[in-house]
Amino acid sequence: MNLNRFSVATFNMFNLQDPGRPMNPGQRPWTEAEFTRKADWIAGQLTTLDVDIVGLQEVWSKTALEKVVAAGGLEATYDVLADPADGSRIICAALVRKGLLHGAPRWIADFSEAVRLESTDDRNDPQAPQIRVSIDRFSRPVLHFSVELRDGQLTEVFVVHLKSKLPTSLAGEQWFQDDPDTFKPHQLALGAGLSTIRRTAEAVALRVVLTGAMKGTATPVIVLGDINDGQHSNTANILTEQPRYLVGDSLGGVDNGLYTAQTLQEYRDTRDVYYTHVHQDIRESLDHVLVSEQFYDNSRKRVWLFDGLTINNDHLNFENHRESGTGDHGLVKVGFAFEPARP
């Protein structure tokens, strides 16, 4: 297959689970009626997006996802990548237009041996105390698969969902129960700190995976997902390695860097209205499309030209997601056109 244009999207499904089956603590299972509304809304969004690759987060059940695809009449359009979704846990999943998938998808749960977050001697800051972080796996396994957009050229796609900002619950910890007078007044700060540490460790582990795919290669890479942090956050900086963006007819590109589609759009637009999540009236950009230099306009190794970004987020103006079937994240769609850089 030789595509001249293609598009990708990232879509947090807001707990796509079979009706009647349990979800996270404190969340009521979907009723049959609620699931039907949810499936119809998601199917309508997928039909409207009409993209080639959709990275999905918060998928509990492959059967639920297949019902969504059937609700939109999209069975002949997409391959469903969600094999581990047996209803017992949340995974990352994807829909890939038929004919594009190359090989079998895999889910990465464990951190690489190269992820070692400890330091006893910080020579950049001799006053810094020792530190050791012992996290060894992702909260949500990372989905990795390959697609063939042009004959003979594989693109590696990663679908991710990093730890949320929701403070980690400490009520079940023995140390917390043994001395509540000391810890209870500070449980939000402690919980938020633990969530941030976990998300940062996951970002590092994902960056190690990405470096393995990108460094010293010409392999196109796309990352789709909910990183639960903003465009200029430390989480995003770790993932992207902060490549320099060039303007005008400048040429460059970074072998190991990732470029945010949000920034690429800002170079094309006069106003930034990008947000994909609303919490306590704060609008944030948590859902991102990150691309390697093969998709960066000013790269000498460009293969695909950025062709615009759109966000479906009007449903975030209302909080009746359970009643309406809507999700709690915006949908990000990014397009590209085949236009290799001239020698």
Give tens-digit pLDDT for 47-93. 999 999 999 999 999 999 999 999 999 999 999 999 999 999 999 99
What's the rounded Cα separation, in Å, for the pair 96 and 224?
A: 13
What pLDDT is stored for residue 192 in this prediction? 93
Q: 74: helix, coil or strand?
A: coil
Residue 278 has pLDDT above 60, yes or no: no
Q: Which residues make Cβ contacts (< 8 Å) with residue 320, sequence separation at least 6?
A: 326
Residue found under tokens 């460094």: 215
**How large is the average pLDDT for residues 142-168?**
94
Residue type, 261: A
Delineate the domains of the chain, giving CATH numbers in brackets: 5-170+198-338 (3.60.10.10)
Q: In the structure, what pLDDT confidence band is assigned to residue 245 with cuts at 50, 70 and 90?
A: confident
- Residue 298 to residues 126, 242, 293, Cα–Cα distance (Å): 40, 15, 8
Residues contacting residue 315 through CB under 8 Å, at least 6 positions apart: 321, 324, 326, 327
> Residue 279: pLDDT band by 50, 70, 90 thresholds?
low
Tell me how far apart the alpha carbons of residues 191 and 164 are, in angstroms, rounded to a whole number: 11
CA distance 165 to 168: 9
Q: Higher model confidence: residue 287 or residue 203?
A: 203
Closest CA to 234 of 289, 290, 196: 196
Instruction: Say if residue 280's pLDDT is above 70.
Output: no
CA distance 119 to 181: 32
Range among 39-53, 223-237, 265-279, 282-296 rated most confident: 39-53
What is the rounded average pLDDT of the residues 204-223? 96
| pLDDT of 216 strictly over 60 | yes
- Residue 40: is it exposed, middle or buried by C-beta count within 10 angstroms (0-12/13-18/19+)? middle
Higher pLDDT, 128 or 223: 223
Q: Produce one character per residue of 152-184: b if its CB has 16 or more CB atoms within 10 Å, e if not.
A: eeebbbbbbbbbbeebbebeeeeebeeeeeeee
- For 97-117, what is the mean pLDDT? 96
What pLDDT, on the 0 to 100 scale, is given for residue 231?
79
Residue 267's pLDDT is 78
Residue type, 276: T
